[in-house]
Chain A
Amino acid sequence: MRVLLRTVLLLAVFCLSWAMSSHTEAQDSTPRGGTLVVAINADPGHLNPAITTSGATHTAAELIYNGLLGRDERGDPTPDLAESWTIEQGGAVYRFRLRDGVTWHDGTPFTAADVKFSFEEVLLKFHARTKASMGGALAGIDAPDDRTVVFRFKQPYAPLLLQLDATEAPIVARHVYQAGDPQTNPANVKPVGTGPFRAVSYQKGAEIRLARNPKYFKPGLPYLDEIVMRIIPDAGTQVLALENGEVDFLWGVPGPLQERLKADARFRTAQTSYHPGGSNCIMTVSFNLDRPVFKDARVRRAVALALDREAFLKQVLFGEGRVATAPISSEMAWAHARGLRLPGFDRAEAERLLDAAGWKKEQGATRVARGVAGVADGARLAIDFLHFPAFAKYGELMRQHLGAVGIEVTQRPLEPSVFAPTVFKDRAFDTNVISYCNGPDPEIGVRRMYVSSQIGPAPFTNAAGYRSDKVDALFDQAGRTVERDRRAALYRPIQEIVAQDLPYVWLVETPTTRAWAARCSGFRAWTGLFAEAAFCRRS
Chain B
Amino acid sequence: MSPRYLLRRLLQVVPAVAGIVLLAFVLVHTAPGDPVVALGGDHGDAAYYAFIRAKFGLDRPLPEQLLAYVASVLRGDLGQSFVHGRPVARVVAERLPATLLLMGTALALSSVAGVWLGVLAARRAARAADLALRTAALLAHATPSFWLAQLAAIVLALGTGLFPVQGFTDPRQSWTGWRHALDVLHHLALPALVLAAGELALTTRLTRTGVLEALGTDYARTARAKGLPERAVVRHALRNALLPVVTVIGGRAGMLFTGAVLVETVFAWPGLGQLMLSSILTRDIPVLLGLFVLVSAAVIVANLLTDLAYACLDPRVRYE
A128:B157 contact, CB within 8 angstroms:
no
Most buried by A among B35, B51, B165: B165
B43:A53 contact, CB within 8 angstroms:
yes
B84 within 8 A of A: yes
In Å, the complex CA distance between A520 and B4 comes to 67
- Which among B33, B91, B158 is the interface contact of A240 at CB below 8 angstroms? B158
CB contacts under 8 Å to B, within A148-186, are 183-184
Min CB gap A51→B, angstroms: 8
A203:B165 contact, CB within 8 angstroms:
no
A119 within 8 A of B: no
B164:A244 contact, CB within 8 angstroms:
yes
A46 proximity list for chain B (CB < 8 A): 83-85
> Interface size for chain A: under 10, 10 to 19, 20 to 34, or 35 or more residues?
35 or more
A237 within 8 A of B: yes
In Å, the complex CA distance between A35 and B161 comes to 21
B48:A244 contact, CB within 8 angstroms:
no
A417 proximity list for chain B (CB < 8 A): 33-35, 37-38, 283
Min CB gap B151→A, angstroms: 11
Interface locus among A13-21, A368-376, A453-461: A453-461
In Å, the complex CA distance between A445 and B85 comes to 28
B32 proximity list for chain A (CB < 8 A): 414, 418
A233:B274 contact, CB within 8 angstroms:
yes
In Å, the complex CA distance between A35 and B172 comes to 7
A128 proximity list for chain B (CB < 8 A): 40-45, 48
A445 proximity list for chain B (CB < 8 A): 43
B268 within 8 A of A: yes
Q: Which residue in chain A gives the minimum CB-CB distance to B164? A: A246
B306 within 8 A of A: no
- Which among B42, B51, B86, B283 is the interface contact of A437 at CB below 8 angstroms? B42
B34 proximity list for chain A (CB < 8 A): 417-418, 420-421
B150 proximity list for chain A (CB < 8 A): 236-237
In Å, the complex CA distance between A418 and B164 comes to 37
In Å, the complex CA distance between A205 and B277 comes to 12
In Å, the complex CA distance between A230 and B270 comes to 10
Q: Which residue in chain B gives the minimum CB-CB distance to A51? A: B85
B267 proximity list for chain A (CB < 8 A): 237
Interface locus among A37-45, A283-291, A479-487: A37-45
Q: Which residue in chain A gives the minimum CB-CB distance to B95? A: A205
Q: Which residue in chain A gives the minimum CB-CB distance to B169? A: A206
- Which among B158, B270, B274 is the interface contact of A244 at CB below 8 angstroms? B158
In Å, the complex CA distance between A18 and B161 comes to 48
A234-B266, A240-B154, A246-B166 known; A37 and B171 CB under 8 Å?
yes
B274 proximity list for chain A (CB < 8 A): 43, 205, 231, 233
A231:B33 contact, CB within 8 angstroms:
no
B268:A233 contact, CB within 8 angstroms:
yes
Q: Which residue in chain A gives the minimum CB-CB distance to B271? A: A205
B270:A459 contact, CB within 8 angstroms:
no
In Å, the complex CA distance between A42 and B276 comes to 12
A184-B80, A228-B171, A458-B46 known; A205 and B165 CB under 8 Å?
no
A233:B277 contact, CB within 8 angstroms:
yes
In Å, the complex CA distance between A203 and B94 comes to 9
B291 within 8 A of A: no
A218 within 8 A of B: no
A-B contact pairs, 8 of them (CB 8 A): A132-B43, A132-B44, A203-B168, A206-B98, A231-B270, A237-B267, A246-B170, A457-B46
Interface residues of B (CB under 8 A from A): 32-35, 37-38, 40-49, 51, 55, 80-81, 83-86, 91, 94-95, 98, 150, 153-154, 157-158, 161, 164-172, 265-268, 270-271, 274-275, 277-278, 281-283
Interface residues of A (CB under 8 A from B): 35, 37, 42-43, 45-46, 52-54, 125, 128-129, 131-133, 135, 183-184, 188-189, 203-207, 228, 230-234, 236-237, 240-241, 243-244, 246-247, 278, 414-418, 420-421, 437, 439, 444-445, 448, 456-460
